[in-house]
């Protein structure tokens, strides 16, 4: 992929940037003619900040596309989320909040049933219950092999995420799942020499799993498919010259931030207050802070309109503490919308606030979906946010004379 112009013009500066991402921030009105979650919230600090800021709405990936948090975050961090696709196995691991490292190869796992001849009779082991699966996952987690570390994480029913961690593990592996019954599971093969070691370790795991599960009918074997590492991204240091840190509680977001080369800070708790204290504690050490708020999305996805409003109000209460640090640039946005009325992620553009001393303020006294429609940032692809952030931070030099 060609290097974007702004990345060719990056210049150093002594400026600090705080990007606060409220997961699933965008919403919809609860009833016709009503207000969204953000519009309903009492948020004097965010509204006051809006007046000094430029507002707009981000399209996370592309019009009409409902993004997962992975691609949503890649775009916010300035990486084209269509070019940098996250593979199936890595998605499964991130989806259960496993904090993937660059040394990890992940796969999607199924418990399955095999007969005495080793032929698959049910690729989903009768869709065993999540409770039953949970016990078997614990059993698989006991498998230890010299030179590699295995992680097994429950997804639900017959599904689990399998991750192996070690040096020199390639991802170019064939599936064990033949996608058919009446045949045996396939041995894993490497498609390139750099994945040979990974193939050996995976086959070893499958064989150990077979022994442990032998008497656990119907889930007496496993299938693995979609092996993938995290995509390799150029780091924030390389492309932006930013020394960046991530403040996030959940593994998925820590994993994505790690992909971008951010340092993952120890939050020492799981509240927004803990996250704020972490920001304050490490303020001197970094140029860029990504601070992730999970509660907004959790409420949105569970259809809890009022819960999402409250989460936004809680974030609002911490804004004075953020501003007291005197950051040069503050972004308040989201990785996608999660309207409580839809109980799911959605494609709707996400309200976004960009504060700096250099923005052209819109003169709007409210931070909300419809207020942002009138803002100076317009409706724009999320991947264009970082150039604006860096420009406001004095970190992009002039192009041409």
Nearer CB in complex with a copy of itself: 60/170: 60
Nearer to a copy of itself, 281 or 374 (CB): 374
Cis peptide before 229 (omega within 30 of 0): no
CB-nearer residue toward a copy of itself: 45 or 221: 45
Alpha carbon of 354 to those of 18, 156, 170, 171, 196: distances in Å?
10, 39, 40, 39, 47
Q: Which is nearer to a copy of itself, 93 or 185 (CB)?
A: 93
* Least Å from the CB of residue 259 to a copy of itself: 13
Separation of first and last alpha carbons in the chain: 26
Nearer to a copy of itself, 300 or 387 (CB): 387
Instruction: Provide, rounded to whole angstroms, the least separation between the CB of residue 161 and a copy of itself.
Output: 11
CB-CB neighbours of 235 under 10 Å: 15
- Please state the closest distance from residue 71 (CB atom) to a copy of itself, in A: 4
By beta-carbon proximity to a copy of itself, the closer residue of 92 and 122 is 92
CB 314 within 8 A of CB 42: no
Beta strands 53-59; 221-228: pairing state: unpaired
Q: 6 vs 288, which CB is nearer to a copy of itself? A: 6
DSSP codes joined into one string, 214-233? TTSTTS-EEEEEEEEPPP--
Phi, psi torsion values for 197, nearest 5 degrees: -65, -40
CB of 350 vs a copy of itself, minimal distance in Å = 11
Q: How is 294-329 classified by DSSP, letter by letter?
A: -HHHHHHHTT-HHHHHHHHHHHHHHHHHHHHT--SE
- Helix or strand run (H / E) with residue 332: strand 329-333
Minimum gap (Å) between residue 61 Cβ and a copy of itself = 6
CB of 224 to a copy of itself, least distance (A): 18
Q: How far apart (Å, rounded) are the C-alpha atoms in residues 267 and 26?
A: 26
Both structure tokens of 7: 């990345």
Min dist CB 158 to a copy of itself, Å, is 18
- Cβ atoms of 330 and 20 closer than 8 Å: yes
Return residues touching a copy of itself (CB under 8 A): 4-6, 9, 26, 28-29, 32-33, 36, 51-52, 57, 61-72, 81-82, 85-86, 91-92, 94-95, 252, 342, 344-349, 358, 360-363, 369-370, 373-376, 378-380, 384, 386-392, 396-401
């Amino acid at each position: 992929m060609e290097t974007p112009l702004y990345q060719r013009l990056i210049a150093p500066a002594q400026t600090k940037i705080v990007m606060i991402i409220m997961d699933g921030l965008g919403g919809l009105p609860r009833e016709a003619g009503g207000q969204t979650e953000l519009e309903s919230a009492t948020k004097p600090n965010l509204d006051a900040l809006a007046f000094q800021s430029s507002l707009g709405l981000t399209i996370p990936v592309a019009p009409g596309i409902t993004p997962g948090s992975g691609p949503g975050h890649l775009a916010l961090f300035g990486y084209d989320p269509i070019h940098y696709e996250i593979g199936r196995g890595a998605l499964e691991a991130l989806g259960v909040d496993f904090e993937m490292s660059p040394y990890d190869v992940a796969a999607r796992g199924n418990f399955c049933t095999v007969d005495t001849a080793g032929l698959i009779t049910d690729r989903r082991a009768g869709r065993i219950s999540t409770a039953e699966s949970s016990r078997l996952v614990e059993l698989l987690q006991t498998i230890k092999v010299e030179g590699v570390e295995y992680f097994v994480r429950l997804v639900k029913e017959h599904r689990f995420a399998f991750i192996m961690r070690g040096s020199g593990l390639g991802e170019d592996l064939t599936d064990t799942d033949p996608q058919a019954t009446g045949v045996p599971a396939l041995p894993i093969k490497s498609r390139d020499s750099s994945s040979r070691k990974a193939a050996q370790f995976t086959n070893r795991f499958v064989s150990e799993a077979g022994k442990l599960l032998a008497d656990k009918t119907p889930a007496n074997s496993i299938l693995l498919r979609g092996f993938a590492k995290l995509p390799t991204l150029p780091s924030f240091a390389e492309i932006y010259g930013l020394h960046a840190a991530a403040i996030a509680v959940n593994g998925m977001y820590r994993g994505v931030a790690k992909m971008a080369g951010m340092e993952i800070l120890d939050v020492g708790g799981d509240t927004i207050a803990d996250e704020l204290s972490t920001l304050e504690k490490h303020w001197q050490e970094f140029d860029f802070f990504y601070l992730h708020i999970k509660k907004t999305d959790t409420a949105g996805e569970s259809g809890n309109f009022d819960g999402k409003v409250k989460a936004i109000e809680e974030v609002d209460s911490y804004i004075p503490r953020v501003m007291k640090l005197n950051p040069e640039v503050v972004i308040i946005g989201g990785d996608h919308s999660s309207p409580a009325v839809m109980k799911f992620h959605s494609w709707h553009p996400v309200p976004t606030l960009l504060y700096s001393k250099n923005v052209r303020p819109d003169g709007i006294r409210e931070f909300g979906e419809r207020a942002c429609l009138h803002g100076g940032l317009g409706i724009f692809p999320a991947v264009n946010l970082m150039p604006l952030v860096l420009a406001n931070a004095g970190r992009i030099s002039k192009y041409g004379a």
